[in-house]
Amino acid sequence: MNLTPKEIVEYLDNYVIGQKDAKKTIALALRTRYRRMQLNQELQNEIMPKNILMIGSTGVGKTEISRRLAKMMKVPFIKVEASKYTEVGFVGRDVESMIRDLVVNAISIVKEEKEEQNKEKIQNYITNKIVEKLLPPLPEGASQSKKDDYQRLLEAMEKRVESGEMDDKTIELEMDKIHVEFDDTNLPPEMVKVQESFTKIFANINKEDGKKEVLVKDAKNILKREAMNKLIDTNTINTQALKRAQDGGIIFLDEIDKIALSEKSQGRNDPSKEGVQRDLLPIVEGSSVTTKYGVIETDHILFIAAGAFHVSKPSDLIPELQGRFPLRVELESLTQESLYQILTQTQNSLLKQYEALLGVEGMKLVFEDEAIHTIAKLAHTANETTEDIGARRLHTVLEKVLEDISFNADQYNGKEYKITSELVHEKLDTVVDDDDLSRYIL
């Protein structure tokens, strides 16, 4: 969390080209959260998060910015589509389920951290249990020399187990009954508890011998879960996760324009759209939501909403909801140069992915710089003449260029294949020039 806004923007530059305003706004919002956590409790409670509304066409980087941030900062983060939530009384997901999803995500983050902190203890537990099964214990009254020999044998066996040398051996393990976790966040917590009670009842009815013969390799995973349950307190994880989600959680609310009531399509609108906005309102402005892990307050969760707003506009949202997203950022459409930079400058770019994939077949794929410029140019032209789908157009364009090469990749084993500008023109010119073809193929 302790990253300056400049460092956050620098990190995002590796994955998202351009969109400086959006990166700056989000970096500031995240830094403000860090600053808030350093203040005294009374002042902390007063400072509300500045929720963000990102406006821009599809494929310009709205989702990617949020996704990369959550990955970098290890904070509870979920991406949800506003269009799948419906007003109470209609078929669909209840808006409170997004908060339950966030808590589930926070729990998995805290569990990973605890596992990392207790890595050595967990490893020792697994090794000791397996060695106990592989080496029978010494009989009582064994001489000191026997004990010394046994100790040396024990240490040697521990090393063999840890190195994976014993993975193909079979041992007998006592299997605990598998506890089924119900993480259906669309169900109220009370209903989940009823489901879990039924599971326990049926588990007791169907009692069976818990001993099973398993390979050492599989036993390591089984014992890892057992070690986690014994060494790490579940209540502590749940408490920490609830606090983490409450103070540092981010919810990325995509497709918010789909629940706006535009004047143009007033007659065709689903009657639940405004209802969804009204249901969202208490969650965004701050309320208590009951989850199976406890009650969570939503006052300090950061909401980042995004939408293309082609048909509707931000002012079509109900005024109360508009007021809850004070920071507005407009993302620019991608230029030809931006598309070229996406292909060449981003980490794990599409070109690197295709090179790696075809490298599996023993083929060396090389893109000439002129060819990359041509791909960017034709993708930009397709975006201008048909729907503007931003960087996503690069996927369809590249797939069309490499379709035959990928199909016949086995013929180029051990050879180099150059993608030239002429090849790109040959594959794409007729498609891009023909408006009807372009709409169906690209």
CA contacts within 13 A on the Cβ side of 340: 12
- Give residue-wise pLDDT tens across range 13-43: 888 888 888 889 888 888 888 888 888 888 8
Beta bridge partners of 53: 305, 328
Domain layout of the chain by residue ranges: 5-109+244-330, 119-175+210-231, 183-208, 336-431
Identity of residue 132: E
Distances from the Cα of 61 to the Cα of 79, 305, 392, 398, angstroms:
14, 13, 10, 19
pLDDT in tens, 202-260: 555 554 556 777 788 888 888 888 888 888 888 889 999 999 999 889 999 988 888 88
Whether the CB-CB separation of 312 and 261 falls below 8 Å is answered with: yes
336-431: CATH topology is Helicase, Ruva Protein; domain 3 (1.10.8)
77: helix, strand or coil: strand
Query: pTM here?
Result: 0.76
Give the tens place of pLDDT for each residue, 259-288.
Answer: 887 766 554 455 567 888 888 889 998 889
Angle of CA points 309, 314, 316, to nearest 5°: 100
CA dist., res. 416 & res. 410, Å (int): 12
Decide if 324 contacts 284 (C-beta within 8 A): yes
Give the homologous superfamily in CATH for domain 5-109+244-330.
P-loop containing nucleotide triphosphate hydrolases (3.40.50.300)
How far separated are the first and last CA of the chain, in Å rounded?
A: 41
- Quick check: do 5-109+244-330 and 336-431 share a fold? no
C-alpha span between 360 and 347 (Å, rounded): 20
β-strand 250-254 against 288-291: which pairing, if any?
Answer: unpaired
**How far apart, in whole angstroms, are the C-alpha atoms of residue 73 and residue 66?**
11
Residue 328 phi, psi dihedral angles, 5° rounding: -110, 135
